[in-house]
Amino acid sequence: MSIHYNNSFIANIYRYILLNIAVALMMGSLSFAEESILILNSDTRVEKYTNAQQAFIRSIGKTTEIFDMSEPSIEDSHFTQMVTTKDPDLIYCIGEKATSNASRLIKNRTKIVSSVMNQDRMNFDKDTYGVDSKLPAGMQINLFRLCFPEIRKIGVLYSKKYNDKWLKSAIYAGRQKGVEIVGYYINKPVDVGWKLKKMIKVVDAIWLISDPIVMASEKRIMSIFTVSEQAKLPVFAYDLIFEKLGATLVISADVETIGGQVAEIALDLFANSTLENRFQPPTGSQISINLKKIETYGLMFDYHRALGMINKIIE
Amino acid sequence: MFRFSHCNQIFTLFQNSRVFPLLAVILVYPLKFAFPSQSEITTLYFYIPETNINNLAILKDQFESYLVKHGNYSFRPFSNQATFERFVKEDKKAVILVSSWYYGKLNERHEVNPVLVGVSGKSSKQKYYLCKKAELSGSSFSGGEKFASASGIDFTREVLQQIVPLKYHKNVALARILLVPKDIDALMAIEFGILNCALTTESGLNQFAHTSPKEYKSLIKLPSQKEWLLPLVAAFEPENISVMALIMLLEKISGDPDGIRSLNMINLDTFKRLNKIHHRILNK
């Protein structure tokens, strides 16, 4: 028995096969299309920005494009055009300049920000996610306790305008850990001197926090270190720049871990996972101690328990 | 106490003496050949990939402050396996201080003899712990977990395979791992609600018990069945005189304040000679 096919039937079959191939190719190209990521780096010459960037690239395992924003004269129109042309699925902003420009000029695009010192004081749209650059007060108190188990009362100079909420969280965290945090509020920079003198009489250590009123000038910052030196009181600080001024302990967020955390957020966003919080605190720490100060002030440093955690020692 | 490095000084002393020149030549000159000369540097190479040690510069300063007091020694820490192996391969007199996990991998390719093992407290072994937030169910492992770990990606996955029940093994490859600098950071990631799981050593857990006793008690802690030896001191030519001298120096390191500080930086208290039990653990 033989079967006869007319020409139009064969043509229809042929068309059907071609259509299926085309659909399969389209589906394939869609499923393998990789999300595009644009990194806006405020200044690629700044080590902490570059370290965060490299850690992000290592962790994300996807192709990224980097745009260095250190050029002093990037016009807004040029910047927005560049972003529109690249049309990224996600933008990672590293540092103040990249973050403020992206927040101001780029709307309706998913952004993740990091390495911005006063991130909590900025306004972000609902498409912005991020990792804070400051370790939570409770984490820092944990690390203070591991290094200096005998220190029980720590003084903080702060302004109600910028750090009222933070101080409350620090006092609460301290209470949980058996450390008393004593806050001395500063209304205007000129108050720093006399409040400091009052504070050093009752505390075991001074905790320097980022506060624009307390740190209104280099002179005010220097005076904190001079007075603490005279009183033989250790200063605990949050940034390595205070190391040179004589901070006994500096605890800062580890920028490579921040880059890794940003990659985790990006992977969650690509997978459409629900994020509990749009912003999260950093979770890795870098610790620097000044051994000379520890010896001069006669402080009890727990070498056995804490030395393995230290990243930098000043002797 | 007599030290090998004193041989040259004794030799010089006798050379300067007008009374016993001949005696000096007969008795001491052979020692100059038997023991290494002052100009030869013996190096202790350091590589522990499953610990996120990022303070290599101060580790070098600290170890050398102990070693150079006793002779011509240097300490070279590495963070990259290929570079470490390239250097070590070219120096047959190398003494290495490595993790027991990495030692096993190195020994498959090059014959290295373990001589000393690190001791912390009273133990030379350690277990790892998978820690979970109290609300999570005990031993299940979906693969969707996100871990904080200071132990490197490869080692973390290997340890997780040891801890999670067999039926979940295929899910281990799916788990996402965030590398952090220290064990305490990994545990604080759970305490502060950043991640739900962490992999840590026992010493990390002890630190956490000290800083956060309430959170420590509420953690789910699943220990590994397997125990790993603490870091090992090993050598390609353990019979070489220079190598022996450095190993003896490391054996008595905990008797010196600079030595103790060096060890504390890698969470050890001292070194001791490997015994049969240690060899059995290494060969498992």
**Are the Cβ atoms of A264 and B182 closer than 8 angstroms?**
no
Between CA A167 and CA A239, with CA A127 as vertex, the angle to 5 degrees is 35
Which residues 17-56 of B are in CB contact (within 8 Å) with A?
54-55
CA dist A48 and B175 (Å) reads: 28
**A255 class by beta-carbon count within 10 Å (0-12 exposed, 13-18 middle, 19+ buried):** buried
Lowest mean pLDDT among B37-41, B60-64, B218-222, B259-263: B37-41
Name the residue of chain A whose CA is nearest to B206's CA: A305
pLDDT per position in chain A (315 positions), as tens? 444 555 665 566 566 555 555 544 444 444 446 789 999 999 999 999 999 999 999 999 899 999 999 987 788 999 999 999 999 999 999 999 999 999 999 999 999 999 998 777 788 999 999 999 999 999 999 999 999 999 999 999 999 999 999 999 999 999 999 999 999 999 999 999 999 999 999 999 999 999 999 999 999 999 999 999 999 999 999 998 999 999 999 999 999 999 999 999 999 999 988 888 899 999 999 999 999 999 999 999 998 889 888 888 887
Query: What does the pLDDT average to over B84-103?
Result: 93
Helix pair B202-211, A137-147: axis angle to 10 deg: 110
Query: What does the pLDDT average to over B37-54?
Result: 79
- CB-nearest to A260 from B179, B193, B267 is B179
Q: What is the mean pLDDT of chain B?
A: 86
B95 φ, ψ (degrees, to nearest 5): -110, 135
Which superfamily is assigned to A137-253+285-314 in CATH? Response regulator (3.40.50.2300)
List of chain B residues whose C-beta atoms are within 8 Å of the C-beta of residue A146: 184, 207, 210-211
Name the residue of chain B whose CA is nearest to A136's CA: B192
Q: How far is A241 from chain B (nearest CA, A)?
A: 18
Which helix (DSSP H) or strand (DSSP E) does residue B20 occupy? none
Q: How far is A242 from chain B (nearest CA, A)?
A: 19
**Tens digits of per-residue pLDDT, B117-157?**
999 988 999 999 999 987 776 667 777 788 999 998 999 99
List of chain B residues whose C-beta atoms are within 8 Å of the C-beta of residue A264: 146, 176, 178
**Are the Cβ atoms of A283 and B188 closer than 8 angstroms?**
yes
Q: Is the pLDDT of residue B32 over 50?
A: no
pLDDT of the residue at A2 = 43
CB B147 within 8 A of CB B155: no
Q: Is the pLDDT of residue B111 over 60?
A: yes
The answer to whether ipTM exceeds 0.90 is no
CB B235 within 8 A of CB B243: yes
Q: How many CB pairs under 8 A join A and B?
A: 91
All CATH 3.40.190.10 domain ranges in chain B, comma separated = 42-124+229-283, 128-226
CB A282 within 8 A of CB A135: yes
Mutate to test the interface with B, among A150, A251, A257, A258 (most CBs of B within 10 A): A257
List of chain B residues whose C-beta atoms are within 8 Å of the C-beta of residue A313: 58, 61-62
Q: How far is A42 from chain B (nearest CA, A)?
A: 24
**Are the Cβ atoms of A308 and B267 closer than 8 angstroms?**
yes
Going from the C-alpha of B260 to that of each of A245, B89, B96, B221, the distances in angstroms are: 29, 29, 18, 30
pLDDT greater at residue B169 or residue B21: B169
Which helix (DSSP H) or strand (DSSP E) does residue B77 occupy? strand B73-77
**Are the Cβ atoms of B195 and A283 closer than 8 angstroms?**
yes
List of chain B residues whose C-beta atoms are within 8 Å of the C-beta of residue A310: 55, 58, 265
Query: What does the pLDDT average to over B245-260?
Result: 96
Amino acid identity of A31? S
**Are the Cβ atoms of B176 and A267 closer than 8 angstroms?**
yes
Lowest mean pLDDT among A47-51, B36-40, B46-50, B142-146: B36-40
Name the residue of chain A whose CA is nearest to B195's CA: A283
Which CATH number among 3.40.50.2300, 3.40.50.10090, 3.40.50.300, 3.40.640.10 corresponds to the domain A37-132+256-280?
3.40.50.2300
H helix intervals, B138-182: 153-163, 169-172
CA dist A69 and A74 (Å) reads: 8
> A176 — contact with chain B (CB < 8 Å)?
yes
Which CATH number among 3.40.50.720, 3.40.190.10, 2.40.170.20, 1.10.760.10 corresponds to the domain B42-124+229-283?
3.40.190.10
Q: Do domains A37-132+256-280 and A137-253+285-314 have the same CATH topology?
A: yes
Name the residue of chain B whose CA is nearest to A175's CA: B212
> A257 — contact with chain B (CB < 8 Å)?
yes
Q: How far is A286 from chain B (nearest CA, A)?
A: 8
- CB-nearest to A146 from B191, B211, B214 is B211
Beta strands in chain A (DSSP E): 37-41, 64-68, 90-94, 111-114, 128-131, 153-158, 180-185, 205-207, 235-237, 249-253, 279-280, 285-290, 312-314
List of chain A residues whose C-beta atoms are within 8 Å of the C-beta of residue B55: 310-312
**A61 class by beta-carbon count within 10 Å (0-12 exposed, 13-18 middle, 19+ buried):** exposed
Q: Is the pLDDT of residue B26 over 80?
A: no
Candidates B277, B234, B202; CA nearest to B102 is B234
pLDDT of the residue at B39 = 57
**Are the Cβ atoms of B54 and A311 closer than 8 angstroms?**
yes
Token pair of B152 as six digits: 């490197």
**Are the Cβ atoms of B181 and A176 closer than 8 angstroms?**
no
Q: How far is B278 from chain A (nearest CA, A)?
A: 24
Token pair of B265 as six digits: 């930086």
At the second CATH level, the architecture of B128-226 is 3-Layer(aba) Sandwich (3.40)
Amino acid identity of B47? Y
**Are the Cβ atoms of B192 and A143 closer than 8 angstroms?**
no
CB A208 within 8 A of CB A242: yes
Q: How far does chain B reach from its first CA to its final CA, in angstroms?
A: 40
**Are the Cβ atoms of B184 and A257 closer than 8 angstroms?**
no
Q: How far does chain A reach from its first CA to its final CA, in angstroms?
A: 99
Q: Is the pLDDT of residue B37 over 90?
A: no
**Are the Cβ atoms of B210 and A305 closer than 8 angstroms?**
yes
A51 φ, ψ (degrees, to nearest 5): -65, -40
> B217 — contact with chain A (CB < 8 Å)?
no
**Are the Cβ atoms of A254 and B181 closer than 8 angstroms?**
yes
Q: How far is B65 from chain A (nearest CA, A)?
A: 13
Name the residue of chain A whose CA is nearest to B181's CA: A284
Q: Where are the domains of chain A?
A: 37-132+256-280, 137-253+285-314
